[in-house]
Amino acid sequence: MKGLVVVSAAVVDLSNKVVVITGGARGLGAATAQAVVDGGGKAVITDMLEEEGAATAEKLGDAARFIRHDVTSEGDWQAALHFAVAEFGKIDGLVNNAGISAGQFLEHESVEHFRQVVEVNLVGVFIGMKTAIPLMRAGGDGGGGGGSIVNISSAAGLTGLAMTAGYGASKWGVRGLSKIGAVELAEAKIRVNSVHPGMTYTPMTAPVGIQTGEGNYLGAPMGRVGVPEE
């Protein structure tokens, strides 16, 4: 049917896998947590949005947990990942999804805002990877070590987009960090990949005025924005 997006409930078998998802309270993160649970896995949702995060975990049932988490804090990362191990015994996957957007033209962007965006979007990913690696080596993938780290970058990490100084720079950085991690961690059977979504309708992007439905976003080959479930 024209305009209808059909998404499979369980695309991948994640039976007995434990996946930590940052920024999991809503949007892409919540859809990722849903996909993990639909695939038979356990989802540990982290976010600064406590009420929304707890509600998302409750909706997913006993296969999900929530913990408040500031991705720029090393202490919070230690607490979140050890919480995941305490609740479910191990970590098989980490989805670094938490991020912030908004920006100005380069000459008008404040140094303070640029640093804030890079701190959340890039440094947060670095701290997460650094903290998760020893735990994944020890107990991921059924106790033999290994697993998967998925870093959510953006189409802005593949090309130059105006008014995205901090955001674009951070997403290019996530792409590079993922490639470095993939090379370094192959011997540990830990896969590292970056994902580069185009414009997707989420609570973060809604304020810019995008609309869903075919023909409402001609900048994409399909003529529409994506939805988190895709």
Q: Which residues belong to the active site?
A: 167
What's the rounded Cα separation, in Å, for the pair 224 and 113? 30
Phi, psi of 35 (to 5 degrees): -65, -40
Strand order across the 64-68 sheet: 64-68, 42-47, 18-22, 93-96, 147-152, 190-195
Identify residue 4 by its one-letter amino acid code. Answer: L
What's the rounded Cα separation, in Å, for the pair 224 and 217? 4
Distance, C-alpha 38 to centroid of its chain: 17
The tokens for 181 are 């991690």
| Angle at which helices 74-88 and 124-139 cross, to 10° | 30
